[in-house]
Each structure stands twice: as C-alpha cells, then as structure tokens.
C-alpha cells in the first residue's frame, strides 16, 4: 500500500518540472549575487511531497498572535527528508556562536534556508529547555524565533530563519550615524518585545544580530533567541530593573561599536593618563555625529543603573530622532506599487503573501516595517486614515483621498473597511520577479496536494486563511474548489 501511494504521488508531481542548481554554501552575497539568487531559488533535487506545516504565515493582529502563542511548537521527526544539509558532511557548519555549531539546511521544495542548532538529548537540562521553547513562542519582525523542532534518537534540531547578511560584527566603525540609528531602532524593537514578555537576553553582542541580507538592506534580526530559555529555573517572578538595564547597556555598546569601531569608555582624556587607573574616561564620537544620537547613546551607556534610560523612553527618543526620514527610500517604491496595483481577489492575496514569505524575505521585512509603522493602534489593520497618513509622509496632493478610496475598492477583499497585512503586502510588493515561471512552479509544487491540485486544505497547512472566503473565491473564478497548475498560473498572471 505504502509503495503504491508513493509511486502515485511521484507521478503526479513530476508534471511540474522545476530547474535545480547545486547548493550555494557561501554565507554572504553581494548585490549582484543577490539579484540572481532572488530570481532563481536553489532547489534540492526531490519530488517528495512536503506535508510538514512550516512556520505558518498568519494575519498580524494582536488576537491572532495571542492565540498562536498558546499553541506549543510540535516536535516532528524526519528533518533530512524535508531539508538537505549544506556543506556536504554531517558535521559541517557555517556559524559558531558561543561554542555552538550552527548548521545550515535548505528546504527541498522552496529552497529556503534555515539555521539548525543541535541539542543532545542526553543532557539533563534538555527536556526542560525544549519544553520552554515549545510553550514560549516569539512573534516579532526583528527576532528569528525557533520555528520548528525536529528529533531523532539522540538529538533535537531547532530550526530558525537564516539571515545571509552575516553578523553586525563585520560592520564595526563602518556605518554613518543615520545607518546606526536605523539598526538601533530595530534592535530596540526586538528587545522591547522581549521585555514586554518579562524576558531578558543578558548576553547581547554584535554577533547576536545578523543582517537579513546584504549591507544595503540595513535590516537585522536577533538570531540567538535560544539563550532566553537556557539555564536553571528562575526563582524570580520577573527580571529585576538591573536585568532590564543590562540589555539596554548592551544595545548601547553594540550601537557605539557600529558607529566608532571602539568599545565604550575605551578612550582616555590624554596620553599622560594611560597608566593612571583613576583617569577620567569619556565617550568618543566621530565628527559630524548627530547630537540626538550622541545623547541617546550617552543615556544608554550611563553607568549608574538608576539614571540609565528605560526601554520605553528609549523608543520615544528614537521616534523623535526623525526615524521616518531614514526610511523614505524604502517607502517610495512600495507606495508607488500600492497606488498602481490591479484588482485583487482573496486567492491572489493569499498566494502572493505566501510567495513573498518564501522567496523574498528582505522585501517582506521592508513591507512589514511599513505596515507596522502605519498601524498606530497595533490592531493588525490599516484603515483609510492610516494609508493617507502614510502617503502624506512622502507626498501630498489634492486627490489623495479619492485615490485611497479607489485603492480600498481594489484591495479590501475581506470587506472590513481596513487592510490586513496580507492585503497590504499583496499590493505593495514588486511582482516583476515574483510572477516568473520558476517561482510560480515552485509555489504550486509547495502548495499542491498529492493529486496535483491546490485546495483550501492544502493551502491552510502553510498559511492562515479565511477558509470560507478562500473556497468561495475559487468557486467564483473557476466554478470549483480546486485548481491545477495551468489554472493556477492563469489566475496569478491576471495581475501582470
């Protein structure tokens, strides 16, 4: 029975042929390499159906996130049936962090890469460690959480997103103050989220944050979230003021090193005081550094904990530091694409959100940032006034209200008088590369069922959807509740 089923599945899936390349083992890519890598996903040669529920994409509303956080991460077996190890040897690794070897694997269908941390089951603290990770799911755009847990007889494998841009350690002393401010704002957002959950990191360094892609993107994520769940059981109900303040000081050190290349308080007033242990030390800043950034770093690096800036005040100070102007280059193109988008149906919205997540995480991160900045009440929805305010931050013209009204008529597929994250992303992304034959084939291969159709059931394994609306949309456009590959490409290319 099992053999018969396997043959049938392979026959069906072989109808879609996706070109493959050998695994790319480089840990960094330059801008030219990034272009080619974005256009052609690197796929392992396999026709095995992926039935694993990879980190499900969800609607970013407070209620949805709270519901998901209550659901523990399931432990699965068969990691190397779903992923291929990059590096050629079982003991190969591409990163080393706190004496932990981090291996990189690549998904056999989507080509997406993941970091894998291996934990021995024989360690006495392992079971408690895994249980903490399962129960405490993290959801923040600047944190790489544990998305999947696999196991075999001897080990657990913890999977998280892979950021190919590498550690911030390589950027020490190389950034301008506005670039440091952009990264600092992201790092503070990540740590503020942890503090809101009564969690402290305690070991923050330049290596804790990696660039999502190359330097030009200037988007980073916290990659070593597992340390939050290590160590003995805490007796305290929540961390102390000193614990929170330690994270703030560490963030100040990271930003200061990015700006100057030096450790804080490394500079003494003059050379005559070099051998004087009581010599007065000071913070050195590059000529031209903005006064506001200097002031923020001084408050973060205040040695007296009682006088050090709090995370809430730090966020307010960064917002006052004209952060939006630093993102103007990121805003212009997405808002232009948003204004020119064609009519979307719910099928378009769901598939485009899924494709962006799998094939261009850099653009997804940018669009999430824009969405979250505009969502002032943090309800996971953008109303008309939110979109108008977003446009007015870049350009203002007489017919803007009319244009936004027309935009909502094209995009508000769920009829809420507001746009959720998937509706917004589906309209603001760049379709030029995403609707290529290679990406469409790969997306279909990922989402199809064993009979070679995309259905509501096959899609909801990978992305959170309104099932009733999804089925109704398929019936409206195709007169049935399933689509084959040719029908799928026909529907998606209506957007070109």
Query: Please, are residues 212 and 365 in contact by the beta-carbon 8 Å criterion?
Result: yes
The answer to whether residues 317 and 332 belong to one domain is no
Provide the pLDDT for residue 270: 47
The answer to whether residues 170 and 309 belong to one domain is yes
In a domain, 292, yes or no: yes
Q: Which residues contact 402 (CB under 8 A, 6 or more apart)?
A: none
The answer to whether residues 253 and 283 belong to one domain is yes
In a domain, 11, yes or no: no
Strands (E), 138-191: 146-151, 155-161, 166-167
Cα separation, 181 vs 248, whole angstroms: 15
Q: What is the CATH number of the domain that holds 144?
A: 3.30.200.20
In a domain, 132, yes or no: yes
Q: Which residue has the tokens 């089923």?
A: 5
The answer to whether residues 240 and 254 belong to one domain is yes
The answer to whether residues 354 and 473 belong to one domain is yes
- Domain end among 114, 132, 161: 161
The answer to whether residues 341 and 193 belong to one domain is no
Cα separation, 88 vs 477, whole angstroms: 46
In this structure, are strands 100-107 and 83-85 parallel, antiparallel, or unpaired? antiparallel
Closest CA to 366 of 338, 330, 333: 330
Q: What is the CATH number of the domain that holds 470?
A: 1.10.238.10
- Counting as low any pLDDT under 70, the low residues of the chain are 1-70, 88-100, 214-217, 231-237, 266-281, 321-330, 395-398, 414
Provide the pLDDT for residue 216: 62
- Domain end among 277, 303, 325: 325
CA distances from 415 to 347, 370, 412, 418, 491 (A): 15, 22, 5, 8, 21
In a domain, 298, yes or no: yes
- Domain end among 303, 325, 347: 325
In a domain, 6, yes or no: no
CB atoms within 10 A of CB 170: 14
**DSSP line for 176-211:** -HHHHHHHHHHHHHHHHHHHHTT-------GGGEEE
The answer to whether residues 281 and 314 belong to one domain is yes
Provide the pLDDT for residue 393: 75
The answer to whether residues 331 and 459 belong to one domain is yes
The answer to whether residues 245 and 112 belong to one domain is no
Cα separation, 354 vs 488, whole angstroms: 14
Query: Please, are residues 140 and 131 in contact by the beta-carbon 8 Å criterion?
Result: no
Split into its structural domains, the chain has a count of 3
In a domain, 307, yes or no: yes
The answer to whether residues 197 and 73 belong to one domain is no
The answer to whether residues 247 and 184 belong to one domain is yes
CA distances from 425 to 41, 194, 232 (A): 21, 26, 42
In a domain, 7, yes or no: no
Cα separation, 270 vs 125, whole angstroms: 50
Tens digits of per-residue pLDDT, 438-450?
999 999 999 999 9
In this structure, are strands 100-107 and 113-120 parallel, antiparallel, or unpaired? antiparallel
Q: Which range marks the domain in which residue 346 is found?
A: 327-495
Tens digits of per-residue pLDDT, 224-237?
888 888 765 544 56
In a domain, 3, yes or no: no
The answer to whether residues 172 and 321 belong to one domain is yes
């Amino acid at each position: 029975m099992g053999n018969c089923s396997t043959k049938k599945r392979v026959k069906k899936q072989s109808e879609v042929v996706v070109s493959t390349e050998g695994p790319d083992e480089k840990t960094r890519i330059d801008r030219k390499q990034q272009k080619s890598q974005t256009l052609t996903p690197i796929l392992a040669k396999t026709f095995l159906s992926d039935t694993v529920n990879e980190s499900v994409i969800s609607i970013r509303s407070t209620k949805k996130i709270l519901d998901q956080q209550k659901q523990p991460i399931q432990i699965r077996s068969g990691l190397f049936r779903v992923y291929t190890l990059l590096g050629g040897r079982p003991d190969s690794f591409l990163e080393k962090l706190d004496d932990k070897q981090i291996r990189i694997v690549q998904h056999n269908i989507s080509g997406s890469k993941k970091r894998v941390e291996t934990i021995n089951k024989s360690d006495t603290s392992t079971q408690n460690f895994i249980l903490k990770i399962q129960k405490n799911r993290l959801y923040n755009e600047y944190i790489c959480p544990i998305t999947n847990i696999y196991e075999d007889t001897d080990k657990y494998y913890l999977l998280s997103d892979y950021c190919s841009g590498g550690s911030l350690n390589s950027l020490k002393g190389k950034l301008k103050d506005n670039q440091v401010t952009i990264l600092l704002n992201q790092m503070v957002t990540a740590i503020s989220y942890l503090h809101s959950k009564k969690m402290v990191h305690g070991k923050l360094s330049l290596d804790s944050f990696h660039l999502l892609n190359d330097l030009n993107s200037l988007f980073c994520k916290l990659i070593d979230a597992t340390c939050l769940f290590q160590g003995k059981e805490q007796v305290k109900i929540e961390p102390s003021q000193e614990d929170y303040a330690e994270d703030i000081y560490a963030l100040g050190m990271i930003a200061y090193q990015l700006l100057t290349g030096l450790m804080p308080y490394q500079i003494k007033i003059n050379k005559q005081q070099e051998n004087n242990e009581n010599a007065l030390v000071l913070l050195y800043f590059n000529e031209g550094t903005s006064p506001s950034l200097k002031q923020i770093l001084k408050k973060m690096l205040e040695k007296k904990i009682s006088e050090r800036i709090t995370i809430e005040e730090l966020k307010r100070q960064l917002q006052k530091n004209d952060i939006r102007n630093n993102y103007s280059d990121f805003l212009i193109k997405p808002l232009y694409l948003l204004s020119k988008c064609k009519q979307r149906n719910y099928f378009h919205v769901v598939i485009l959100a899924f494709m962006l997540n799998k094939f261009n995480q850099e653009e997804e991160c940018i669009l999430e940032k824009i969405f979250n900045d505009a969502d002032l009440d943090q309800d996971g929805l953008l109303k008309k006034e939110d979109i108008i305010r977003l446009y007015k931050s870049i350009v203002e013209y007489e017919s803007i209200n009319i244009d936004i009204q027309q935009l909502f008529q094209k995009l508000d597929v769920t009829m809420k008088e507001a746009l959720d994250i998937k509706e917004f992303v589906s309209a603001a992304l760049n379709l030029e590369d995403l609707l290529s034959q290679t990406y469409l084939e790969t997306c279909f291969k990922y989402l199809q069922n064993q009979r070679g159709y995309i259905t509501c059931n096959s899609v909801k394994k990978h992305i959170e959807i309104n099932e009733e609306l999804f089925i109704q949309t398929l019936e409206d456009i195709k007169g049935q509740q399933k689509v084959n590959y040719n029908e799928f490409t026909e529907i998606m290319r209506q957007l070109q």
